[in-house]
Structure 1
């Protein structure tokens, strides 16, 4: 964390904003981990620059303290921050200062995260969490007593609007594709077996969520069931902005 401080994140954000100012290019920030960076982006947006931003569930749910428990499994970039910085970011998310919530999906073979083989600088960097993004968003909402409508905005509506596919994705409306997720408030324990991945080990392994995914539909076709697991389908297609 000290090798990649918040000051470095802010400087990188400021540099990208300067490039966007010069070129007029729309800009989207991924993996924002500090409220200081959020504030810099807000100042730029106040000047009518076309900028959006996101953070990841692990920055909201975990602090730097997790490295003392899970070692290299918690390595990511930017790094997990101090508890007080994590709390500030949670408040920013709660106040709708961050547009959406996405994964930093970076799986790897288990030995690349092995602390007995690799130190923190040489270990694989990134969090295997793409399949748990929605559960992470729901967990944050439950802990902060936020209406689930905001979860739908963070993970579906706002991304679809930002990237020009809201005419067919991002919300439940007549004429749009039936991309649906059914959830329950049954507890979900993350295990290597229910990650359904080639490389299932994750920062989230053995973590408990206060919600679970019951089923997932892509364009009206069921592609996942809690009882069955992933269901083979061919609904995927390349999306272009309108």
Structure 2
């Protein structure tokens, strides 16, 4: 069946224009995107043929997007901790992908750690793929992991279609996913380069963090001092040195320190194959406003000061940062509130998957930045990083993953009503001016603003 989605505001390239997006629902792909004279001619042909509003002269079914909504490519989030199997009490594929659908995200890419077993072997990858069966409301890709124990075996995971390899340069927080320290990181980067893979790096320096005296406190300022800018900057420099040495494609995860922007920009200017991301919580929250003992804001690296935040926005606008992703990293309430607000004990991670896009739209608008840029940062940008060329764009041949975003459909975030398995989130109480009205995968509606369709998401392999 062919459908044509017509909207007065459709994101084509970098502009909102009247357009018709024709979709083949059998293949789930976009057949054509008509704008300007071509779009006007299609409307004229339908009028001349005296077609009813629900059909085009070509026989395609016409779906008119309401005037109050904007037609956008569905978002892609390439940094999500689903935690299943093993820590499914923290999150799971059903709850995470349901939340994604509500938030206008049609594709997530799952991180390899926090699940047990972690995705560091082909056997573990098979286990993870098996547990997704019947649970996916949106499409899901998978990252592999690089740890000391699987060096020399990474190409086997790459051949199985993982999007790349996550590694830590510091303690990950879970014992089954140790960091790559010293020479191990160089070995891993050389190995990944040998088959053209991608390494994605949690970039904090172990020596800097190791020099911080043990601490225990409810004060956010004390937590912030325990993860200084220097830790990020030195780790980013380490990654760049290895990229320069081996030619490895690398991606810096969750940049929180604006001081890391300069070395990243210099590496890109040098032509090194380096990309970087940041997250909504670094762009929306700032350390001056984080209450003491509020562990729902704790994440590593941390939320920093307002001046730092302004520079991160500038880094996004300038293209130093390539995308915005959630780093949705939930845990049980017990883990998140361990120590009764002692930020040294609480699990680090912000739960946000369902609300990241509308939150970013509002935060950007406050700075005079349109939804066009936000959509690019949260759809095409993450798709490029994860190696998913069919996602994140409204172009012929791309997957027909679409959302209707309604700028005036206001919501007040109530963490208790989110689809996340655990409801504690820093976003509770935020009033947003707009929200997602419809989410579609392959031209078929999975969320219509009220109801959710049956799970029909697909497992993706790199290059999908």
Tell whether the structures are fold-level matches, with TM greater than 0.5.
Answer: yes
Tell me whether 1:158 sits opposite 2:158 in the alignment.
no
TM-score relative to the length of structure 1: 0.92
Q: Tell me the residue number matched to 2:460.
A: 238
3-state SS in 1 of match to 2:438: strand
- Contact 1:111 1:117 (C-alpha < 8 Å) held by counterparts: no
CA offsets, 1:120-165, max 9 Å, x none? 0110100111222212321222111212221221111122233332
Question: How many residue pairs end up in the alignment?
Answer: 240
Deviation at 1:193, TM superposition (A): 4.1
2:404 is aligned, of 158, 179, 182, to 182
CA distance in 1, matches of 2:314, 2:460: 36
What is the CA-CA distance between 1:87 and the residue it aligns to?
1.8
Please, which runs of 5 or more residues in structure 2 have no aligned partner?
Answer: 1-223
Large movers: runs of 4+ above 6 Å: none
Q: Within 5 Å, which residues of 2 pair with 1:23-42?
A: 23-42=246-265
CA contact (8 A) 2:283 2:313 kept: yes
Q: What secondary structure, in the 3-state scheme, does the structure 2 residue paired with 1:149 have? A: helix
2:253, 2:277 within 8 Å by CA — same for their partners in 1? yes
Structure 1 unaligned blocks of 5 or more? none
- Write out aligned runs for 1:1-242 (5 A): 1-68=224-291, 71-114=294-337, 117-166=340-389, 168-185=390-407, 186-228=409-451, 230-241=452-463
Deviation string, structure 1 residues 208-238 (Cα, Å, up to 9, x no partner): 222211111122222223323x432213222
How far 1:85 moved relative to its partner? 1.2
Report how far residue 116 of structure 1 moved.
5.8
- On the 8 A contact 1:221/1:235 being kept in 2, the answer is no
Q: Distance in 2 between matches of 1:21 and 1:38?
A: 17
Task: Give, in whole Å, the separation in 2 of the partners of 1:72 and 1:215.
Answer: 32
C-alpha contact 1:183 1:212 (8 A) present in aligned 2 = yes
Distance 2:338 2:331 in 1: 14
Q: Secondary structure at the match of 2:436?
A: strand
- Which structure's residues are more often helix, by fraction? 1
Answer 1 or 2: higher relative contact order, Cα 8 Å, separation at least 6.
2
Distance across 2 between alignment mates of 1:154 and 1:225: 24
Report if the CA contact (8 A) 1:107-1:126 is conserved.
yes
* Deviation per residue, 1:26-56 (Å, 9 max, x gap): 0101100122111110111111100011100
How many angstroms apart in 2 are the aligned matches of 1:179 and 1:69?
Answer: 41
Instruction: Check the 8 A contact 2:325/2:382 in 1, yes or no.
Output: no
Normalising by structure 2, report the TM-score. 0.49
SS at 2:272 equivalent: coil
The 1:231/1:199 distance shift into structure 2, 3 A limit, reads farther
For residues 237 and 116 of structure 1, do their structure 2 counterparts lie closer, same or farther at Cα, with a shift above 3 Å needed?
Answer: closer
Given that residues 6 and 36 in structure 1 are in contact (C-alpha distance below 8 angstroms), is that contact kept between their aligned partners in structure 2?
A: yes
Which has the larger share of strand?
A: 2
RMSD: 1.8
